[in-house]
Copies of this chain bind each other. A is one copy, B any other.
C-alpha cells in the first residue's frame, strides 16, 4: 500500500466520538491517520474488512467492477464521511482516493466489541448503515429510471448539498467518475453539463482542469423529479 503514516496511532480515549460514534463508556480504541496519494487503492473488494475509515480531507470513490471492466461507483465519500463500515466480514466495494486524501481509521473489531456493550454505539452503527441504505435506494431510482439530464442534475444537487450547500462547488472527481456513478458514459455527462450551461443553469469559473461550478439550485431541482 502506498500509505504514509502522518500521525500517531496512539491509544486515545474519545476516538469513537471522533468518528461520530458517540460513546458514554470511553473505551480505548486505536485511532490512526493515513494518507493516500491520488489514485491509490484504500482497500479492495473481498478483502477482509479490518478498519473503518473517516475522510479527514480529500475524496474517495467506492465501486464495483464487472469482469469485463464495466464499473459502477456506488458512492463518493467526502470530508467527514465514514466508509468501510457497512460490511460483513469482507468489503463489498473497492475504494480509491480520488485526490490526495487523509483518513482516520479504527479497527472494525474494536467497534464491534464496544457495540456489544454500549447500546448507543450500536444505535449509531445501525443509523449509519440505514443512511447508507437510504442513499443506495435513492440511487437505484436514479439508475433505473432517470434520464441523463435528470441524473446529472441530481448529482450536482447532491454534491452541492454535501460540499458547500452554497451553489458553488469544485468537483474533485473526473467526468469518468461522475459517469460511472450515474450509469452513463463520460461523453454523455459532458454533453449534459454543456446543455445545462447553455440553458443558463450553471456556469464555470476559470478554465482549470477541475472547474468550479456555479449552479442554480432551484432550476436544477425542477429538472430532478423526486416524488
Within the assembled complex, what's the spacing in Å between the Cα atoms of A125 and B133? 13
Contact residues in B for A115 (Cβ distance below 8 Å): 119, 122-123
- The answer to whether A145 and B66 have CB atoms under 8 Å apart is yes
> A71 interface residue, CB < 8 Å from B?
yes
Within the assembled complex, what's the spacing in Å between the Cα atoms of A140 and B133? 11
Q: So how many copies of this chain end up in the complex?
A: 2
Interface residues of A in 52-70 (CB under 8 A from B): 64-68, 70
Contact residues in B for A67 (Cβ distance below 8 Å): 225-227
Residue of B nearest to A73 (CB): B144
Interface string of A214-227 (1 = CB under 8 A from B): 00000000000111
> A132 interface residue, CB < 8 Å from B?
yes
Contact residues in B for A227 (Cβ distance below 8 Å): 65-67
> A9 interface residue, CB < 8 Å from B?
no
Interface residues of A in 78-92 (CB under 8 A from B): 86-88, 92
Residue of B nearest to A46 (CB): B227
- The answer to whether A68 and B140 have CB atoms under 8 Å apart is no
- The answer to whether B141 and A72 have CB atoms under 8 Å apart is yes
A137 to chain B, nearest CB (A): 6
Most buried by B among A129, A137, A182: A137
Bin chain A's interface residue count.
Answer: 35 or more
> A28 interface residue, CB < 8 Å from B?
no
Residue from the list B122, B140, B180 in contact with A136, Cβ < 8 A: B140
- The answer to whether B136 and A88 have CB atoms under 8 Å apart is no
Selected A-B contacts with CB under 8 Å, 28 pairs: A65-B227, A66-B146, A66-B226, A66-B227, A67-B225, A67-B226, A68-B225, A70-B145, A72-B141, A72-B144, A72-B145, A86-B130, A87-B130, A88-B130, A115-B122, A119-B119, A122-B122, A122-B123, A122-B126, A125-B126, A126-B129, A129-B130, A133-B136, A136-B136, A136-B137, A139-B140, A143-B144, A144-B182
